[in-house]
Amino acid sequence: MRKLTSFITTLALASILTLQAGFSAQALANQVNAQQANTQQAYANFPAAHTNERGIPTLAPMLDEVTPAVVNISVQGKRVTRQRLPEAFRFFFGPNSPREEVREQPFQGLGSGVIIDADAGLVVTNAHVVNDATEITVTLRDGRQFDAQVLGRDEESDIALLKLENPRDLVSINIGNSDQLRVGDFVVAIGNPFGLGQTVTSGIVSALGRSGLGVDRLENFIQTDAAINSGNSGGALVDLEGNLIGINTAILGPTGGNIGIGFAIPANMMNNLVEQIIEFGEIRRGVLGVRGGNLTQELAEALDINRAQGAWVSEVVADSAAHKAGIEAGDVILALNGTPVYSFAELAAKVGTIGAGRTVELTLLRDGNELNVTVELDQQESQQITADILHPALRGAELSTRDQQGVVVSAVETDSPAARLGLRENDIIVAVNRQVVSNTRELQNLIQNTQGVVALNLLRGNSQLYLVLPN
């Protein structure tokens, strides 16, 4: 009936046009054919790999292959909370009474994950999805459920690798090359937003190499306008061929909901970390051994450099991988393994996730000329030390290297000498008596070899302060 009505309408329209405008039957036929051709061209340009039986573009065949590899994750666990007790408590119960109340609070959480190895039952998700979890349940699209254990995680990149117990009849996803992405490529996000169950949204790659989001970790995100919401964390970002090109991890929104700005960890970064967990049982973070910042327009003009993007090297650490490869202060790093580098944060994220001992090729700009150097990455010192071996006033603090950019105070015991000195958890020690430190070994050497006053330069949020160690 719909085709007949359309045909009658077309005939009526043809009669009116012929009578009123003097169009010939051949001209009308040409017009109709042109309209049909334009319609077919519009369908051909639609970003879908398939069409259905009616010739309409659709992503359904691709999703039929991919969605079985995307899972929902539910977790349960307990988190320790600490609350400082009022001084009146000590007045009634004596000076030896506890200064804080420690409680274990049960929690539940939801997220998403991606099966990357069907035979081994390996699932990738975000580290923050499974933090402090004592029970992890993975639910497939077909409703089957499996218990899972954490094989390894990396807090700085927010990646965790899970293993399903007794895996069977699973489907894994094909991992694509995220270095080949371009702004404007169409992408699809798959996950479990708000616990609704598996949900698919689409969009484009809005930007690459995003950093500076204040999430306090290695940042080299794919930005997309595909809708990502709470619960999508750990889910898949795929291209139109169904290849995994990112792990959804964060959103930018004033109310915690989607406003078209979502972020995913590039698949290449994820894959490097997963390979290290499988091979070593841990992350062996690569270190280049340079300090620096972004090449800005102002800096480029001051240095007479005809570029405004890249990673500018202000200092090369002695005996580091960069020093051995011949990298010099003042160099601008333009690319890593042939892929452009737009910021120092992007460089740090890529180097930090590639893995120690791996060899990379860097493209440098020096004195107006481009050159390539090969670098074998060092391994980051991952040692965490109790600070009392450095100085009695630091007793009660735990320190660890933070990506060669300083020493982070990872814990401070209540009412300890370190706490009374003024140290707080998450403080970052960046210098001793104005001499920059990048790891715990340098911090220890400077403190123990300094005669007289020892002043620690700290970063606390957006503020800087000094703490002086007593003699």
For every residue of 435-452, DSSP letters joined together read: EE--SHHHHHHHHHT--S
As a whole-number percent, the residues of the chain with pLDDT over 70 amount to 79
pLDDT at 72: 94
Mean pLDDT of all residues in 162-178: 93
pLDDT at 362 over 70: yes
Residue 445 sits at φ, ψ, to 5 deg, of -65, -45
Contacts of 459 (CB under 8 A, 6+ apart): 406, 427, 428, 430
User: Coil, helix or strand for 400?
Assistant: strand
pLDDT value at residue 5:
36
Among residues 128, 154, 225, 427, the one annotated as catalytic is 128
List the single range of 17-21, 80-84, 163-167 with lowest mean pLDDT: 17-21
* pLDDT of res. 3: 38
- pLDDT at position 37 over 50: no
The predicted pLDDT at position 211 comes to: 81
Local confidence band at 39 (pLDDT 50, 70, 90 cut-offs): very low
Q: Taking 60 as the threshold, does the pLDDT of residue 248 lie above it?
A: yes
CA 15, 18, 21 angle in degrees (round to 5)?
135
Q: What is the pLDDT of residue 264?
A: 93
Q: How confident is the model at residue 124 (pLDDT cuts 50, 70, 90)?
A: very high
pLDDT at 403: 57
Q: Per the residue annotation, which of 112, 117, 157, 158 is the catalytic one? A: 158
pLDDT above 50 (res 365): yes
Q: What is the reported pLDDT for 247?
A: 94
pLDDT of residue 48: 57
Strands 339-340 and 359-366: unpaired
Q: pLDDT tens across 235-247, in order?
A: 999 999 999 999 9
- Stretch 339-345: mean pLDDT, rounded? 87
Residue 403 is among the residues annotated as catalytic for this protein: no
pLDDT at 371: 92
Given a cut of 90, whether residue 253 has pLDDT beyond it is no
| Average pLDDT of the segment spanning 351-358 | 87
Closest C-alpha among 384, 278, 294 to residue 333? 294
- The whole-number pLDDT of residue 70 equals 95
DSSP label of 470 = P
- For residue 189, is pLDDT > 60? yes
Higher pLDDT, 316 or 47: 316
Tell me the sheet residues that pair with 336. 339, 362
pLDDT of residue 163 exceeding 90: yes
Confidence of residue 280 (pLDDT cuts 50, 70, 90): confident
| Cβ(181)–Cβ(170) below 8 Å | no
Instruction: Round to whole Å and give the CA distance between 109 and 147.
Output: 15
Confidence (pLDDT) at 287 = 86
- Where does the pLDDT of residue 470 fall: very low under 50, low under 70, confident under 90, or very high at 90 and above? confident
Residue 22, pLDDT score: 40
Taking CA atoms, 117 is separated from 124, 170, 176, 248, in Å, by 10, 8, 14, 19
Position 333 scores a pLDDT of 92
Evaluate if residue 117 carries a pLDDT over 90.
yes
Residue 257 — pLDDT band, cuts 50, 70, 90?
Answer: low
How far is residue 136's CA from residue 205's CA, in Å, rounded to a whole number? 31
> Is 51's pLDDT higher than 80?
no
DSSP states of 283-318: ---EE--EEEEE--HHHHHHTT-S-S-SEEEEEE-T
Closest by alpha carbon to 227, among 254, 257, 207, 198? 257
Phi-psi region of 161 (alpha: psi -120 to 50; beta: other; left: phi over 0): beta
The better pLDDT of the pair 384, 43 is held by 384
* pLDDT tens digits for range 394-424: 888 888 776 556 788 888 888 888 888 889 8
155 φ/ψ angles, rounded to the nearest 5 degrees: -65, -35
pLDDT band at 2 (very low <50, low <70, confident <90, very high): very low
| Mean pLDDT confidence for 192-215 | 84
Is residue 451 very low, low, confident or very high in pLDDT (cuts 50, 70, 90)? confident
Amino acid letter, residue 398 = E
**Mean pLDDT score, 185-199:** 89
Range list of β-strands (E), 85-177: 100-117, 122-125, 133-139, 145-154, 159-164
Averaged pLDDT, 456-460: 90
Asked if the model's pLDDT at residue 438 lies above 90, the reply is no
158 given a catalytic annotation? yes
Q: Assess whether pLDDT exceeds 50 at residue 260.
A: yes
Judge whether residue 207 has pLDDT over 70.
Answer: yes
Q: Count Cβ atoms below 10 Å from residue 304 Cβ, excluding itself.
A: 8
Identify whether the C-beta of residue 216 lies closer than 8 Å to the C-beta of residue 425: no
Kindly state the percentage of the chain with pLDDT values over 90: 30
| pLDDT-based confidence at residue 81 (cuts at 50, 70, 90) | low
128 assigned to active site: yes
Q: Inform me whether the pLDDT recorded for 40 exceeds 80.
A: no
DSSP 8-class letter at 137: E
Q: Which of 233, 320, 343, 438 is catalytic?
A: 233
pTM: 0.68
Mean pLDDT taken over the chain: 80
